[in-house]
Structure 1
Amino acid sequence: MANPNKARGTAWESEIRDYLNRFLGLVDDDARITNPFSAMNVRRPAQEGARDVGDVHAAPFVLEAKNTAGSAVPTWIRQAEIEAVHAGFPYGVVVQKARGRRTRWGRVHVSVRTWTRVRLALGMTSREMHDAFGFTASLRGLDTGRWYFTCTLHDFGHLLADYRRTVPEVARAVH
């Protein structure tokens, strides 16, 4: 790959996919997918022209992976949410690499709207959602469109597992 930035981005996408598949118990001891046909596997989809479908699919989430020194979280979240629509998934989130840290410490950024929809689907109060998954709020000025919640990729793995176990239509697909 000639472009070093693209290579770093691709490596980060693969790290996220591999971490979540291990976390969710979807791989064997040799890191091979145990059921290659399961829709619950975390995947890096092939891109399909102008309608980007996101970097990583972890049903019901599309993850937009960012491995950059700079930060434009509200813009990235909007991008992830558009890509989720293109992919036919209900939620789009951003996973930003934490410099000098292991994959589990990646930062998952979620819009207030998505956070609320997920929280309601799980039947949790705001306090329960915060306590269970360690979300912190970033409130940037009075423009609520720039507000978002953040947790670690490790905590997001717990959220993903709980969502898949709890929400009826996803739970049916898993079993």
Structure 2
Amino acid sequence: MRDYLNEALGLVDGSGRVKDVFSALNVRRAAQEGARDVGDVHCAPFVLECKDVKSPAVPMWLRQAHVEAFHAGYPYGVVVHKVRRANVRLGRVHFGVRTWTRVRTALGVSAREMRERYAFTPAVRGLDSARWYLTTDLARFAQLVADLRAAR
């Protein structure tokens, strides 16, 4: 995940080495902090909670990602669920509705543009909007990160 995102964001050279080891924009695996966990991967401005399991529990994972983003001091927490036996770029990136809206607002795009540009699909689970989320793939997430970084 980390290596794919560093490559997709143009942060590595031809041999796969990070161009600037001191850049805050590099995608990094975070050191685990115990009770004050800071997420699995930092891809500024996102904390990624990474999962590779057969049975997804996305709403619970999203709550975990939000807490870990707060602990790390990052504005956005999302979940990346690797699709088994598939290329990492096909991993599913899940956004809670509030996070998706905050990112969309930061990009200055409409909801329709956000859905179309980054191929988001909604998942509505019952009447509790806290269980709703939007999903895209890792390749489009990398483009979203690049666009968000350029907009700042």
Shift of 1:35: 0.2
RMSD, matched Cα? 0.6
Which of 40, 43, 55 is the equivalent residue of 1:58?
A: 43
Residues 1:160 and 2:139 are matched in the alignment: no
SS in 2 for 1:50: helix
Which residue of 2 is the match for residue 40 of structure 1? 25
Where do 1:30-109 residues align within 5 Å? 30-109=15-94
Q: TM-score, normalised by structure 2?
A: 0.99
Of all paired residues, the percent bearing the same amino acid is 61
Deviations 1:123-145 (A, max 9, x none): 00000001110000000110100
Shift of residue 99 of structure 1? 1.5
Q: What amino acid is aligned across from residue 25 of structure 2 in structure 1?
A: M
3-state SS of paired residue (1:62) = strand
Alignment TM-score, normalising by the size of structure 1 = 0.86
Asked if 1:135 corresponds to 2:120, the answer is yes
**How far does residue 45 in structure 1 lie from its aligned partner after superposition?**
1.3
Measured after TM superposition, the shift of residue 49 of structure 1 is 2.8
**Number of matched pairs:** 152
Structure 2 CA distance, aligned partners of 1:131 and 1:141? 24
Bigger Rg over Cα: 1
Structure 2 residue matching 1:110: 3-state secondary structure: strand
Q: Name 1:28's counterpart in structure 2.
A: 13
CA separation in 2, counterparts of 1:57 and 1:30? 22
Structure 2 residue ranges without an equivalent (≥5): none
